[in-house]
Amino acid sequence: MQSINLGNKESGKIWHRKPSPATRDGIIVNIIHNTSDYLPKVLRFLNVAFDSSGDSLIAGDHQGNIYVFDLYGNRFNLVQRTSQACTALAFNLHRKSEFLVALADYSIKCFDTVTRELVSWMRGHESSVFSISVHASGRYAITTSSDTAQLWDLDTFQRKRKLNILQSVGIQKVFFLPLSNTILSCFKDNSIFAWECDTLVCKYQLPAPPESSSILYKVFAVTRDGRILAAGGKSNHLHLWCLEAKQLFRIIQMPTKVRAIRHLEFLPDSFDAGSNQVLGVLSQDGIMRFVNIQTCKLLFEIGSLDEGISSSAISPHGRYIASILENGSLNIYSVQTLTKEINKPPPPLVKVIEDLPKRKVNSGDLKMKVTSGRVQRPAKSRENKIQASILKQNLTGNFENKENEFSDGLNKKRLQILLKGYGEYPTKYRMFIWRSLLQLPENHTAFSNLIDKGIHVAFLNLQKKYPIKSRKLLRVLQRTLSALAHWSAIFSDTPYLPLLAFPFVKLFQNNQLICFEVVATLLINWCQHWFEYFPNPPINILSMIENVLAFHDKELLQHFINHDITSQLYAWPLLETVFSEVLTREEWLKLFDNVFSNHPSFLLMTVVAYNICSRAPLLNCNLKDDFEFFFHHRNNLDISAVIREVYRLMDTTPADIHPDSMLDVFVALTKGQYPVFNQYPKFIADYQTQERERIRNDQLDSLRERQVVEDMQAEVDQQRAEDEGWYQTQELLRKAEETRREMLLQEEEKMIQQRQKLAAVKRELKVKEVHLQDAARRRLLQPQQDQREMELRRLDDEIERKVHMRDREIAATAKDLEMRCLELEPQKRLYEKNLSRNQEAIAKEMREDADAYKRKVDLEEHMFHRPIGTDQTQNQKTQKLIEENLAKAEQACLNTDWRIQALHKQRCDDLHRNECYQEVAKLLRKNRKKEMEVLNAVMEGEAKKWEEAEEKDFHLKSEKKAAALSDASRRWFLENETHDALENAQHPYHKVPRCQDEWVASSCLPRTSQLKDISEMESLTQISLNQRKTHWDTMEWDLMERVRNLRQRLATQARNRCQTPHLLAT
Q: Indicate the range of 262-276, 406-420, 443-457, 530-544 predicted with least confidence.
A: 406-420
Q: Indicate the range of 473-477, 486-490, 665-669, 1026-1030 predicted with least confidence.
A: 1026-1030
Q: What is the three-class DSSP state of 589?
A: helix
- What are the distances in angstroms from CA 767 to CA 15, 772, 907, 989? 91, 8, 16, 82
Where is pLDDT greater, at 333 or 534? Answer: 333
In 234-377, the DSSP E strands lie at: 237-242, 247-253, 261-267, 278-283, 288-292, 298-302, 309-314, 320-325, 330-334
What span, in angstroms and rounded, lies between the C-alpha atoms of 401 and 407? 12
What span, in angstroms and rounded, lies between the C-alpha atoms of 917 and 903? 10
What span, in angstroms and rounded, lies between the C-alpha atoms of 280 and 548? 59
The pLDDT of residue 264 is 93
Q: Indicate the range of 399-408, 606-615, 871-880, 927-936 predicted with least confidence.
A: 399-408
Where is pLDDT greater, at 400 or 385? Answer: 400
Q: Indicate the range of 646-655, 812-821, 892-901 predicted with least confidence.
A: 892-901
- Quick one: which of 522, 432, 514, 527 has its CA closest to 476? 514
Q: What is the three-class DSSP state of 150?
A: strand
Q: Indicate the range of 505-509, 672-676, 729-733, 974-978 predicted with least confidence.
A: 974-978
In this predicted model, what pLDDT tens digit does every residue of 938-973 receive, in sequence order? 788 778 888 887 888 788 777 777 766 766 676 676
What span, in angstroms and rounded, lies between the C-alpha atoms of 21 and 338? 9
996, 1009 Cβ separation under 8 angstroms = no
312, 321 Cβ separation under 8 angstroms = yes
The pLDDT of residue 915 is 74
β-strand pairing of 27-32 with 2-5: parallel
What span, in angstroms and rounded, lies between the C-alpha atoms of 221 and 226? 10
Where is pLDDT greater, at 914 or 18? Answer: 18
Rg (the chain; Cα; Å): 68
In this predicted model, what pLDDT tens digit does every residue of 979-1018 receive, in sequence order? 666 665 554 434 333 333 433 333 333 344 443 444 454 4
What span, in angstroms and rounded, lies between the C-alpha atoms of 136 and 185? 17
pLDDT of 205 above 70 = yes
Q: What is the three-class DSSP state of 338?
A: helix
What span, in angstroms and rounded, lies between the C-alpha atoms of 354 and 636? 56
In this predicted model, what pLDDT tens digit does every residue of 495-521 receive, in sequence order? 888 988 999 998 888 888 899 999 999
pLDDT of 704 above 50 = yes
What span, in angstroms and rounded, lies between the C-alpha atoms of 573 and 652? 25
Listed in sequence order, the DSSP H helices in 964-1008 are 970-986, 996-1003
What span, in angstroms and rounded, lies between the C-alpha atoms of 283 and 288? 6
What span, in angstroms and rounded, lies between the C-alpha atoms of 596 and 965? 175
What span, in angstroms and rounded, lies between the C-alpha atoms of 288 and 436? 32
pLDDT of 384 above 50 = no
929 CB burial (10 A radius; 0-12, 13-18, 19+): exposed
Mean pLDDT of 371-387: 35
pLDDT of 355 above 70 = no
Q: pLDDT band for position 741 (50/70/90)?
A: confident
In this predicted model, what pLDDT tens digit does every residue of 855-867 receive, in sequence order? 777 777 777 777 6
Q: Indicate the range of 828-837, 866-875, 1002-1011 predicted with least confidence.
A: 1002-1011
The pLDDT of residue 689 is 67
- Average predicted confidence (pLDDT) for the chain: 79
The pLDDT of residue 170 is 82
Mean pLDDT of 934-941: 81
Half-sphere exposure of residue 233: CA atoms within 13 angstroms, side-chain side: 15
* Phi and psi torsions of 479, nearest 5°: -70, -40
What span, in angstroms and rounded, lies between the C-alpha atoms of 338 and 290? 10
Q: Indicate the range of 84-98, 106-120, 958-972 predicted with least confidence.
A: 958-972
Q: pLDDT band for position 382 (50/70/90)?
A: very low
The pLDDT of residue 984 is 58
Mean pLDDT of 737-745: 86
Which amino acid type is present at position 179?
L
- Quick one: which of 163, 160, 166, 129 has its CA closest to 146? 129
The pLDDT of residue 398 is 44
pLDDT of 1054 above 80 = no
The pLDDT of residue 418 is 81
Q: What percent of the chain has pLDDT over 90?
A: 13
In this predicted model, what pLDDT tens digit does every residue of 134-160 receive, in sequence order? 998 888 999 999 888 999 998 888 888
What span, in angstroms and rounded, lies between the C-alpha atoms of 193 and 191? 7
What span, in angstroms and rounded, lies between the C-alpha atoms of 298 and 252? 12
State the Cα torsion 918-924-929-935 to the nearest 10°: -170
Angle at alpha carbon of residue 66, lines to 62 and 72, rounded to 5°: 130
pLDDT of 826 above 90 = no
pLDDT of 101 above 70 = yes
**CB within 8 Å of 315: residues ≥ 6 apart:** 50, 54, 55, 57, 268, 321, 322
Q: pLDDT band for position 277 (50/70/90)?
A: confident
Mean pLDDT of 536-550: 88
Q: pLDDT band for position 1028 (50/70/90)?
A: low
Q: What percent of the chain has pLDDT over 70?
A: 81
The pLDDT of residue 692 is 67
Q: Indicate the range of 38-42, 573-577, 852-856, 975-979 predicted with least confidence.
A: 975-979
The pLDDT of residue 840 is 72
pLDDT of 312 above 90 = yes
148, 157 Cβ separation under 8 angstroms = no
pLDDT of 820 above 70 = yes
What span, in angstroms and rounded, lies between the C-alpha atoms of 418 and 408? 17
Q: pLDDT band for position 178 (50/70/90)?
A: confident
Length of the chain measured in residues: 1066
- What are the distances in angstroms from CA 61 to CA 89, 112, 517? 11, 18, 42
- Count of CB atoms situated within 10 Å of the CB of 721: 12
pLDDT of 309 above 90 = yes
pLDDT of 368 above 50 = no
254, 225 Cβ separation under 8 angstroms = no
pLDDT of 361 above 70 = no
590, 424 Cβ separation under 8 angstroms = yes
The pLDDT of residue 399 is 40
Written in H, E and C, the secondary structure of 95-147 is CCCEEEEEECCCCEEEEECCCCCEEEEECCCCCCEEEEEECCCCCEEEEEECC
- What are the distances in angstroms from CA 314 to CA 60, 244, 254, 364? 16, 25, 21, 55
Mean pLDDT of 545-566: 89
Which amino acid type is present at position 790?
M
**CB within 8 Å of 675: residues ≥ 6 apart:** 524, 669
Task: Concatenate the DSSP letters of all residues of 841-855 into one string.
Answer: -STTHHHHHHHHHHH
